[in-house]
Amino acid sequence: MTRIGHGFDAHRLVPNRPLILGGVTLPFTQGLLGHSDADVLIHAICDALLGAVGAGDLGRHFPDSDPSLAGISSLEILRRVHTMLASGGWSVANIDATVIAQAPRLGPHIPVMVDNVAACLKVESTAINVKATTTEGLGFTGEGHGIAAHAVALIHTR
């Protein structure tokens, strides 16, 4: 059996927070605000995977109200989502994701993000694709108020 899921997430950029995307801490003047490390790329991927298995969304499984999740690495959340999938007999076929950020430049860091996601999901790095784009200065991402991410995930049973 094959299933597909979609995820979208956005977080606000604020001072005095580290900017963490795809498990990589990027040098930047601002970081994303959130209960966990606010890794918007990983959250979109988690939501795509949860959507593919029909398990609702990230907020249902990892609520902001849970103090044990405060400041948690989103890679750990992704590992837990993978455990849920694997326990149901699902494997990840591939993931395609897009980060929407006016700054900083993400290109040089994408290979590490890909490796981080692949390791959490126990797949080859070739199964994970991460893209970065800007919105040409338009909207909340373009004006630097936040960063957004979209992801689609294909999963299958063996």
**Under the rule (CB under 5 A), what is the footprint of Zn ion?**
9, 43
Non-local CB neighbours of 129 within 8 Å, separated by 6+ positions: 94, 95, 96, 97, 114
What is d(CA 154, CA 112) in angstroms, rounded to the nearest whole number?
A: 21
Residue (9 or 116) nearer to Zn ion, CB: 9
**Shortest spacing between CB 58 and Zn ion, in angstroms:** 7
Residue (69 or 93) nearer to Zn ion, CB: 69
Q: Which residue's beta carbon is nearest to the bound Zn ion?
A: 43
**Shortest spacing between CB 109 and Zn ion, in angstroms:** 19
Residue (145 or 156) nearer to Zn ion, CB: 145
**Shortest spacing between CB 35 and Zn ion, in angstroms:** 8
In the numeric block, the tokens 């606010």 are attached to 38
**Shortest spacing between CB 59 and Zn ion, in angstroms:** 9
**Shortest spacing between CB 43 and Zn ion, in angstroms:** 3
What is d(CA 58, CA 125) in angstroms, rounded to the nearest whole number?
A: 23
Vertex 42: Cα angle to 67 and 91 (nearest 5) = 110
Residue (77 or 85) nearer to Zn ion, CB: 77
Work out the number of other CB atoms within 10 angstroms of the CB of residue 79. 14
Work out the number of other CB atoms within 10 angstroms of the CB of residue 115. 15
Residue (33 or 93) nearer to Zn ion, CB: 33
How many residues belong to the chain?
Answer: 158
